[in-house]
């Protein structure tokens, strides 16, 4: 129970060197009997940039996957595993164990988060959307776009080197192969190591519930989302 508030507050405890190994030992014992709790705790540890290799071997093992697929919470566990798999690829490059079979990969989120939907009337997103509509036009941005591996963005724009905001086609895809109607995705550009002719820009509207109370520290899930989007090549503003 201690790790959940820590990850929520994006706080890595000073005794993490003692706490995390104990958590790992418990997860190794309980993974098979408590798969949902296991992936929940794993996600909290990932949010705090701790990657328990032995536990990852377990949750990506065929035995664990088979057990989960026959359970009533199969979909939610698949969502967690899909995000954990993507997070491991981005932040835990030295991991050489099993990975999630592509057949089981799904988006972590398919739409805006519940908290964002519930608080929409208190958000500044409506004002920002209206400003963007007047400044660049509705065809030049997307609102609440979900990007792989399942992160909902507030606004997504495509901006060239001169600072011009480019229109987005109706069927645009940030990770689509390079075509005349679809600009290259940031992952390919980043791996190629060349100077980007244009950028995918994620404009974030961080409302008060995206921060820890009375602070400027983003909650753990939001902070991890931002880390991953930057690693994928997006420019966050």
**184 plus 137 within the same structural domain:** yes
Q: Are residues 118 and 195 in the same domain?
A: yes
State the pTM of this model. 0.82
Residues whose CB is less than 8 angstroms from the CB of residue 233 and which lie 6 or more positions away in sequence, other chains included: 185, 186, 187, 189, 190, 196, 200
Domain that holds residue 90: 3-104
| 182-192 pLDDT per residue, tens | 344 444 433 33
Flag whether 109 is in a domain. no
In the chain, what is the straight-line distance between the N-terminal and C-terminal CA atoms, in Å?
34
Residues 74 and 121 reside in one and the same domain:
no
Higher pLDDT, 163 or 115: 163
CB 149 within 8 A of CB 83: yes
Q: Where among 104, 127, 148 does a domain terminate? A: 104
Instruction: Indicate whether 48 pLDDT > 90.
Output: yes
Omega before 149 cis (within 30°)? yes
Same domain, 80 and 122: no
Using CA atoms, how far residue 82 sits from 15, 56, 108, 158, in Å, is 29, 12, 7, 27
Q: Is the confidence at residue 169, as pLDDT, over 80?
A: no
Q: Classify residue 213: in a domain, yes or no.
A: yes
153 in the same domain as 98: no
Q: How far is CA 148 from CA 7, 109, 119, in A?
A: 22, 9, 24
- pLDDT tier, 41 (very low <50, low <70, confident <90, very high otherwise): very high
Which of 82, 104, 126 terminates a domain? The answer is: 104
Number of domains in the chain: 2
Confidence of residue 98 (pLDDT cuts 50, 70, 90): very high
Cα torsion at 233, 212, 152, 147 (round to 10°)? 20
- Report CA dihedral (124, 138, 159, 86) to the nearest 10 degrees: 70
Sign (positive/negative) of CA torsion 43, 49, 50, 53? positive
Crossing angle of helices 62-69/74-91, nearest 10°? 150
């Amino acid at each position: 129970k201690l790790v959940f508030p820590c990850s929520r507050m994006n706080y890595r405890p000073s005794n993490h060197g003692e706490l995390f190994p104990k958590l790992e030992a418990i997860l190794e014992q309980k993974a098979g009997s408590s798969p949902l709790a296991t992936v929940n705790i794993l996600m909290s540890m990932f949010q705090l940039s701790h990657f328990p290799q032995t536990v990852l071997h377990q949750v990506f093992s065929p035995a664990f996957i088979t057990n989960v697929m026959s359970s009533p919470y199969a979909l939610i566990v698949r969502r967690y595993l899909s995000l954990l798999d993507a997070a491991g690829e981005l932040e835990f490059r030295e991991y050489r164990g099993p990975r999630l079979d592509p057949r089981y990969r799904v988006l972590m989120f398919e739409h805006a988060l519940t908290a964002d939907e519930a608080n929409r009337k208190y958000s500044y997103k409506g004002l920002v959307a209206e400003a963007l509509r007047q400044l660049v036009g509705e065809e030049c941005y997307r609102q609440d776009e979900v990007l792989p591996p399942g992160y909902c963005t507030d606004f997504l724009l495509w901006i060239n080197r001169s600072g011009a905001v480019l229109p987005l086609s109706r069927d645009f895809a940030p990770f689509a192969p390079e075509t005349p109607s679809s600009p290259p995705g940031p992952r390919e550009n980043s791996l190629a190591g060349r100077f980007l002719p244009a950028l995918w820009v994620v404009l974030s509207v961080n409302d008060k519930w995206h921060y820890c109370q009375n602070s400027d520290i983003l909650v753990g899930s939001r902070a991890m989302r931002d880390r991953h989007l930057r690693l994928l090549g997006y420019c966050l503003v």
